Amino acid sequence: MVSVFAASQLSAQDKPVEKREPGHTDKNKFSQMYDLLATPNMFRTASGAPGPAYYQQQADYKMNIELDDKNTKIYGTETITYHNNSPEDLEYLWVQLDQNQSAKDSKSKLVESQKMDTAYKPDAFSRRYLEEGFAGGFNIEYVQDAKGKPLQYTINQTMMRIDLPTPLKSKGEISFSIKWWYNINNYRVVGGRSGYEHFDKDNNNLYVIAQFYPRMAVYNDVEGWQNMQFWGAGEFALPFGNFDVSITVPADHVMDGTGELQNRAEVLTPAQLKRYEEAAKSYDKTVVIVTQEEAEKSEKSFSDKKKTWRFKADFVRDFAFSTSRKFIYDAMAVKLSNKTVMAVSLYPKEANPLWGDTSTKVVAHTLKTYSKYTFDYPYPKAISVSAEDQGMEYPMICWNYGRPDEKGFVSDRIKWGNMSVIIHEVGHNFFPMIVNSDERQWTWMDEGLNTFLQYLTEQEYDANYPSSRGPAAKIVPYMSGDQKFLEPIMTNSESIHQFGSNAYGKPATGLNMLREVVMGKELFDHAFKTYATRWKFKHPTPEDFFRTMEDASAVDLDWFWRGWFYTTDYVDMGIQEVKEYYVTDKQPESLKEVNIKKGRFGQEQGPFVYMAGDANLKSRDKKALDTKEVKLLDDYISEKFSAEERAKLKSPKYFYEVTFNKPGDMLMPIIAELTFDDGTTESYTFPVQIWRKNNQTASRVFAVNKQVKKITLDPKLLTADIDTSNNVWPASAAVSKFDELEKKSK
Amino acid sequence: MIQKAKYLTLFLLVSACLAMGVHKYYVAVFQLNYVPAKKEVQMTSRIFIDDLEAAFVKKYKKKFYLGAANEVTDANEYLKKYFAEKVHVKINGKEKALKFLGKETEEDILICYFTLPAENGIKQFNVSNTMLLELYDEQQNIIHANVKGKKKSLLLTNDTTAGVLEF
């Protein structure tokens, strides 16, 4: 196509460049991401959806577990039926042994830099230098095939390779069994993501048991076997499967876990069973099933008898449970768009009254809100367990910190912190339990997406909720930090310096900015829901997310993914210059050379209406436009328009040219607010594409009815601009927190 | 898993008292901005309230409920005292006193505002900062300075409690 020049005004000829710059590749920040994204294929399409050849493996588990409370040991035998749905035959299988991370010979302890501490408490010194150390890690008693014949295996730290006598054929399945046991860790003393908490006063343990059985690794089209070691930060990659689990504990324990309880009548008293049935129909009212009084009685009983709890769960990626004599147990039915699920809480008396008042209500609110933005919660229940110092998620069950202090005082920080951790961990049911991304590789895919929905859920719970992540301004201290300690979000989980900001805060903020500033809520919400629905019960990659968000919205986001996810670029935009112009038909001296193009080759002849800048005019000529006073314009208007048409014409009086610049490299739309002399304001948003030809500066002309007193860039702090000192014109109009405080102190 | 705070400590697995599921990190951030028009340096500190509260309880043997509705009435006086002990800033070689202007909370963080006189501009900051080091071995204090658009940072820990920034 031949381009046609629009009539444009030129005031000076471009000077020829004396020395030519060398050539360059496409460095534009809008450059499409062919250099960074994996090539689409039959497994994963260019639209971001699962392709026609998409497959995933399945691992079904049948397990018998016994927990020895007196000796804090756990024993298990499990039979895994592994379905090879891949198009390849497999010579060996990889099984994850997470508990080995806390084994005595664990290499996790050897990869951390150490320094000499200057002071120790005696118990810490003893643990570090005198004691043998906690004897954690799996003890594998056997690995055998379906006929009881031993299978050969090799353990490499937290991974176990099982060598198959004959390859497992594509579309085939294999069953094998593992018998194991390990010492359970007191996580408040020796660390760990699960384990038990000991209560000195009544000598009871509260167990939160997870990553407790040998688990199948993921095999897929992206990684082959995902058998990267568990070093501690990168969580899990797990295939889906069906679980049938029996757990034997002391008879006076109360327990809940992943899946539906199969023998409720055997493990609850008739009164408790009746209360459970009431809870199943309660809708919006929490029903206490095991009361505090009952829990306090159990606390003292230390029964020698045993009880077995049986759970079944379909299509989950993992199994976890929590058990204690101390548990109070409450529940509430939650109505979703076309099903009812249960919100459940387990907590010791020390957690009351905080937990009894809020936990189950918050679980219910979380399920409803997340379901609205993704899909109806597909599992039958979601449990929140009170475990001090914890915040960790598993399918249908999670551990959450936050209890009143010993005097019963609940600070605002504990109150909100407890609610936030419950929303966050229950929210993880959606990402990554159901939208099953690979956490070992990409922490942000579940933590970032989940923290984003956590923010929406918090704000819908209470409009004044003090959310610590989500709002753009909250990420500024991180984004403005030393580049030495920053990595792109697209960095492996183990190599990140500032985990919370990098993998939680920054991606969540990015999504929130996409929603509020770049795409708009409607387009964003549809695309996000499309991603969640497409990858529900599947294994997505970052590309699948990036591509779906564009595919479902028709918003080109390559510039955003490139800047916010693949680099440490930060947003810093500013107002470089503001020029005022006055309309006149008297040709100013400085505009003698002006000419206007006509069509492609011609030139317009005057007379012209001139836009005279400040420097070109005497002060008496600097006045608001009144078309009646500019004869040339006035004549044109009276000749061209009827009185009726004239009444409809706009009447701009003041003219400004504003130049925006970008000390930071990250692109963002320009949000500019003009404040007029009467105190009123008007907001303008220019799409990010305003930077598409020049990534550094952009200018806009404003023709307005009232005189502009102040221009503010991003007045509501929606773009994570790390330096707002250049965001206000004139510079003197900026009022800092310090000015405010100084004024107050005078 | 939830991340309560911002920085990954390098000593994650060494510290026995650390609950890994929560990943509690011990970091405070100090921002020093030179304001030529006022001939002063404006300093903002961002410290986790529970860390500061724990340090105060240890040092002054009472609860302060910092930033909460029931904060003790003389909390600001203790804050001034604590900062004067912990944070020392020399400008061009001369020690300058911190003037406490006020404080506010932002979720779990206490933000304090200070000014320091800087009549002769900034050639060099010499910052000594032992904030919370008596409480946590893993404490990191990060100092960001901005002098006329030039930005420099320091990372102070139990190993290195002071550093110099040249402008």
Look at residue A39 and tell me if it is in a domain.
Answer: yes
Final residue in a domain of this structure, among A549, A569, A589:
A569
B14-48 in b/e form (b: 16+ CB < 10 A) is bbbbbbbbbbbbbbbbbbbbbbeeeebbbbbbbbb
> Residue for token digits 């012209």?
A608
CATH code of the domain in which A354 resides: 2.60.40.1730
Residue B46 contacts A, CB cutoff 8 Å: yes
Confidence band of A616 (pLDDT split at 50, 70, 90)? low
Q: CA A182 → CA A77, A151, A193, A727, A740, distances in Å?
A: 12, 21, 15, 59, 60
**Chain B partners within 8 Å of A497 (Cβ):** 7-8
Predicted pLDDT of residue A17: 58
Span B141-160, mean pLDDT? 86
Assess B37–A contact: CB distance below 8 Å, yes or no.
no
Question: Mind telling me how many Å the CA of B94 is from chain A's nearest CA?
Answer: 23
* A319 and A331 fall within a common domain: yes
Does the pLDDT of residue A620 top 90, yes or no? no
Within 8 A of A421 by CB-CB distance, chain B residues are 2
Tell whether A543 and A629 lie within a shared domain: no
> Predicted confidence band at B150 (pLDDT cuts at 50, 70, 90)?
confident
Token reading at B107:
């979720």
Taking only residues 49 to 68 of chain B, the set having a beta carbon closer than 8 angstroms to any beta carbon of chain A reads 49-50, 65, 68
Measured between beta carbons, which residues in chain A are less than 8 angstroms from residue B6?
A: 477-478, 498, 500-501, 505
Nearest CA in chain A to B64: A411
Mean pLDDT of A585-607: 81
A292 plus A421 within the same structural domain: yes
Assign residue A734 the CATH number of its domain: 2.60.40
Cα–Cα distances (Å) from A561 to A31, A445, A463, A511, A535, in that order, read 11, 13, 30, 10, 19
Residues in chain B with CB shorter than 8 Å from the CB of A389 are 19, 21-22, 24
pLDDT digits (tens, 9 = 90+) for A483-518: 888 999 999 988 888 888 999 999 999 999 999 999
Asked if residue A379 lies in contact with residue A178, where contact means CB atoms within 8 angstroms, the answer is no
How many angstroms separate the CA of residue B104 from the nearest CA in chain A? 11
Domain-embedded: residue A6: no
Structure tokens at B99: 């003037």
pLDDT(B18) > 60: no
Residue range(s) defining the domain that contains residue A563: 26-54+442-569
**pLDDT in the model for residue A4:** 44
Together in a domain, A621 and A699:
no
CB atoms within 10 A of CB A42: 10
- A82, A586 Cβ separation under 8 angstroms: no
**Probe site for chain B from A106, A125, A499, A746 (most B CB atoms < 10 A):** A499
Any domain includes A9: no
Please indicate if any CB of chain B lies within 8 Å of the CB of A738.
yes
- Contact with chain A for residue B1, Cβ under 8 A: yes
Residue B149 Cα, gap to closest chain A Cα (Å): 10
Interface of A with B in 137-196 (CB under 8 A): 187-194
The token duo for A132 is 């043998």
The answer on A183 and A73 residing in a single domain is yes
Number of domains in chain A: 4
Question: Could you read off the pLDDT of A682-701 as tens digits, one per residue?
Answer: 999 999 999 999 999 999 99
Are A36 and A181 members of one domain?
no
Per-residue pLDDT tens over the stretch A267-320: 999 999 999 999 999 998 999 999 999 999 999 999 999 999 999 999 999 999
Average pLDDT, chain A: 93
Whose tokens are 């220019």? That residue is A686
Would you call B22 an interface residue with chain A, using a CB distance cutoff of 8 Å?
Answer: yes
Identify from A413, A414, A661, A717 which residue to disrupt to test chain B contact, counting B C-beta atoms within 10 A and taking the largest count.
A413
Q: How many CB pairs under 8 A join A and B?
A: 140
Residue in A191, A481, A744 closest to B19 by CB = A191
The CATH number of the domain holding residue A474 is 1.10.390.10
> Is B142 touching A (CB cutoff 8 A)?
yes
- Domain-embedded: residue A595: yes
**B70-99 residues touching A, CB cutoff 8 A:** none
Residue A198 shares a structural domain with residue A238: yes
A685 and A703 inside one domain:
yes
A2 falls within a domain: no
For A229-269, strand residue ranges (E) read 241-250, 254-257, 260-261
A65/B134: higher pLDDT: A65
Q: Which residues of chain A does B1 touch, with a Cβ-Cβ cutoff of 8 Å?
A: 193, 235, 391-393, 447
Identify which of A611, A383, A391, A470 has the alpha carbon closest to the alpha carbon of residue B2.
A391
For residue A729, list its beta bridge partners.
Answer: A711
Residue A2: pLDDT band by 50, 70, 90 thresholds? very low
Domain finish residue from A545, A569, A593:
A569
**Statement to judge: residues A644 and A658 lie in one domain:** no
Give pLDDT tens digits for A395-422. Answer: 999 999 999 998 898 988 889 999 999 9
Residues A454 and A597 in one domain: no
Is residue A427 located within the same domain as residue A486? no
Final residue belonging to a domain, choices A513, A538, A569: A569
Q: Which helix (H) or strand (E) holds A313?
A: strand A306-316
Would you say residue A202 lies in a domain? yes
How far apart are the CA of B14 and the nearest CA of chain A, in angstroms?
7
**pLDDT tens column, A223-265:** 999 999 998 878 899 999 999 999 999 999 999 999 999 999 9
From the list B2, B7, B101, which residue is nearest A738 (CB)? B101
In chain B, the residue whose alpha carbon lies closest to the alpha carbon of A493 is B8
Nearest Cβ partner for B20 among A192, A497, A501: A192
Interface of B with A in 117-136 (CB under 8 A): none
Residues of chain B found within 8 Å of residue A191, distances taken between Cβ atoms: 13, 16, 18-20
Confidence at residue A512, expressed as pLDDT on a 0 to 100 scale: 98
Among A187, A211, A366, A412, most B C-beta atoms within 10 A, so best to mutate, is A412
| Residues A185 and A317 placed together within one structural domain of the fold | yes
The answer to whether the complex's ipTM is over 0.90 is no
